[in-house]
Amino acid sequence: MNNSYFVTRSLVSITTLLLHVFAMPIFFLGFILIYDSSWTTRFLDAGLGTVFNVLMLTSILIGVVGISRIVMTTVGRNTRISWWQYAIWSFAEVFVFSCFAALYMALVYGDYGYFPALGQMLRISFAILSYPYIIFALLIALIRPDEEEASEEDLVRFADSTGRLKLVIAHDVILYVEAQENYVSIHYMEGEKQKEYSLRQSMKGIEELMAKHGIIRCQRSYFVNPRHVTVLRRDKEGFIQAELDVNNGKQVPVSPKYYEQLSKML
């Protein structure tokens, strides 16, 4: 079963990227210098001193989080990232930062050893950075709830001919449904990508479900979502086509029988 709507896109927006790249290092820097805990400063007070080392570690944190968030934002444009995937990604960010930070601290100490330094940095990093990661996620979820997250009423639940639930998606991402012998092909958007799902079902078997969610029949073998129809036009042969708001300019055939109903909904 494919349900894309337990995920959030606001967590992978440009605004969130900038928030993490700038606010996360500031929190890390401020926490160590202001809180001045012995279990952090004792380890970091080597070479040129605590302040210099913390500034170097903050620079490493900016680099790691910056690269990670750029990749996350790019991936999030085409693929929705679930909460548990986001949590693993965030954990990996802190771990990677700790690895690079430990390398720096091992070089500063000289004879301290990389793995003891890694153990110390993991303890420091997770103890400090857990707070902003949790706070930022909660703030984004509360202040800027995901506009693409669908309510139960907006979800279309597709079941096959045996009644088994196979696909759950929001009604507004569905483009059109096409009959293909013993199957129906559901065309929908996932992020900026157009996806297709083949369901063993008949057009008659999903007709009531489609009508419930405002997706109407436009031809004997097609249902179309009026939300994605930009214009109805006749082609060179005189056949009516519904042009959709997708990058490839997909057109869905419309029979004269359903033309008036569809045109009223545009």
Instruction: Dump pLDDT digits (tens) for 51-72.
Output: 999 999 999 999 999 999 999 8
CATH number at residue 210: 2.40.50.1020
Which pLDDT does position 79 carry in this prediction? Answer: 60
Higher-confidence position of 243 and 14: 243
**If you average pLDDT over every residue of the chain, what do you get?**
86
Separation CA 157–CA 111 (nearest Å):
62
What pLDDT does residue 9 have?
A: 56
CA end-to-end span of the chain, whole Å? 32
Q: What is the pLDDT of residue 7?
A: 41
Angle at 60 between CA 55 and CA 64, to 5 degrees: 145
The pair phi, psi for residue 194, each rounded to 5°, is -90, 125
For residues 242 and 249, the answer to whether their CB atoms sit within 8 Å is: no
| Judgement on whether residues 72 and 170 belong to the same structural domain of the protein | no
Task: Please indicate, yes or no, whether residues 18 and 131 belong to a single structural domain of this protein.
Answer: yes
Domain that holds residue 8: 2-143
Pair (109, 208) in one structural domain: no
Per-residue pLDDT averaged across 209-222, rounded? 94
200 and 158, same domain (yes or no):
yes
Q: Are residues 251 and 123 in the same domain?
A: no
Of the three residues 100, 124, 143, the one that is the final residue of a domain is 143
For position 121, what pLDDT does the model report? 95
Q: For the beta carbon of residue 184, count every other beta carbon within 10 angstroms.
A: 24
Mean pLDDT in residue range 36-48:
81
